């Protein structure tokens, strides 16, 4: 009999949604190498049009922190554009995006935790979902990177399985090319242990690029590349990848959404909770991803959620 060394690796996990796409060997290699992968045509043109039409229903005059149904405009500085939080409440494409077949198995694979205690409340949890509109001069500064280690953003790989704590699905809702204010990433930076000199200089100069009057972008940062996408393409990245965006130079608007996934143990970033209406109509798998747990109460007390 042929001699073999012991294989300590557990078998690969069962695919969460067998009817949906799974990452290829190349996808997994590139994700490990770069911290991100791009899925072309993740949403169809019809899905993109449906989503943009739902956003168009929100009055542009909605002030920062104002509500439109269950969606709230984020209270962030104007130089980062307009962001609407909790867009999965808008239904249609946005609701489908919770467990979209073109990425749900990717997200589940990269967050990992199959067959272990990470799945105690279910496979995944979305702690934030928003849509951002940016016009000329607007951008988001450089942030994250492997040097800035924290559990929530961390990249992990153990025994043949990914264990990332935050996987972002960033979808383009407009075509994004040169001058459009593209998302920018530093490939491989999720594994960097050395701080980028850009951050060192920024810290020395005590520049707050996030505050009102900040308005910085990733343009010109060595190692950073623009991710050009057509409407419907998605970039899936671990949050520890150093990222941000270019400043939009062209007229018009750049439209994107971001859904952030992690383990079912997480909690909502800004204190939002899926509405009772959405929980009532969502399919059981999607419902688990936005509401992993019912809370215990004494009998006879009111339970809103």
User: What residues have CB less than 8 Å from 290, skipping those under 6 apart?
Assistant: 88, 98, 125, 126, 274, 278, 279, 282
Nearest to 60 by CA among 130, 129, 133, 128: 133
Give the per-residue contact string, 166-205, with ligand AKG (x = CB under 6 A; - = no): --x--------------x----------------------
Under rule CB under 6 A, residue 245 binds ligand AKG: yes
Q: How far is the CB of 52 from ligand AKG (least distance, A)?
A: 17
Under rule CB under 6 A, residue 140 binds ligand AKG: yes
Under rule CB under 6 A, residue 217 binds ligand AKG: no
Under rule CB under 6 A, residue 247 binds ligand AKG: no
Q: Which of 23, 244, 262, 292 binds ligand AKG (CB under 6 A)?
A: 244
Neighbouring C-beta atoms of residue 76, cutoff 10 Å: 16
- Of all residues in this chain, which one has the CB nearest to ligand AKG in the complex? 183
Q: How far is the CB of 8 from ligand AKG (least distance, A)?
A: 36
CA 292 to chain centroid: 18
Distance CA 181, CA 256 (A): 11
Q: Which of 51, 87, 231, 258 binds ligand AKG (CB under 6 A)?
A: 258
Torsion-angle region of residue 246: left (phi > 0), alpha (psi -120 to 50) or beta? beta
Q: Is the dihedral of CA 75, 80, 81, 86 positive or negative?
A: negative
Q: Is the dihedral of CA 275, 278, 282, 286 positive or negative?
A: negative
Under rule CB under 6 A, residue 241 binds ligand AKG: no
The stretch among 88-96, 155-163, 194-202, 238-246 that binds ligand AKG (CB under 6 A) is 238-246
Site for ligand AKG in 64-83 (CB under 6 A): none
Q: How far is the CB of 245 from ligand AKG (least distance, A)?
A: 4
List residues near ligand AKG by CB under 6 A.
Answer: 132, 140, 168, 183, 243-245, 256, 258
């Amino acid at each position: 009999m042929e001699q073999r060394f012991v294989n300590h690796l557990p078998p690969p996990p069962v695919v969460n949604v067998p009817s949906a796409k799974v990452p290829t060997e190349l996808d997994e290699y590139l994700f490990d190498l770069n911290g991100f992968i791009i899925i072309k045509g993740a949403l169809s043109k019809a899905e993109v049009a449906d989503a943009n039409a739902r956003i168009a229903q929100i009055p542009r005059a909605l002030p920062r922190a104002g509500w439109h149904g269950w969606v709230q405009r984020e209270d962030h500085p104007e130089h980062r554009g307009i962001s609407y939080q909790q867009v999965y409440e808008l239904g249609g494409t946005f609701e489908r995006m919770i467990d979209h077949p073109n990425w749900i198995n990717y997200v589940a694979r990269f967050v990992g935790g199959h067959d272990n205690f990470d799945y105690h409340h279910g496979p995944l949890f979305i702690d934030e979902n928003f849509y951002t509109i940016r016009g000329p001069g607007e951008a988001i500064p450089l942030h994250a990177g492997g040097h800035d280690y924290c559990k929530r953003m961390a990249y992990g790989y153990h025994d043949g399985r990914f264990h990332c704590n935050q996987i972002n699905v960033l979808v383009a809702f407009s075509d994004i090319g040169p001058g459009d204010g593209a998302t920018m990433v530093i490939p491989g930076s999720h594994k960097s242990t050395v701080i980028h000199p850009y951050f060192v200089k920024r810290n020395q100069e005590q520049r707050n690029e996030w505050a009102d009057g900040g308005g910085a972008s990733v343009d010109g940062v060595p190692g950073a590349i623009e991710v050009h996408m057509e409407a419907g393409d998605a970039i899936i990245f671990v949050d520890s990848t150093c990222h941000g965006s270019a400043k939009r130079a062209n007229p018009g608007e750049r439209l994107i959404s971001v859904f952030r996934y992690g383990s079912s143990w997480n909690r909502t970033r800004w204190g939002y909770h899926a509405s009772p209406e959405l929980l009532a109509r969502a399919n059981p798998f999607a419902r688990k991803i936005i509401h992993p747990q019912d809370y215990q109460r004494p009998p006879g007390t009111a339970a809103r959620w």
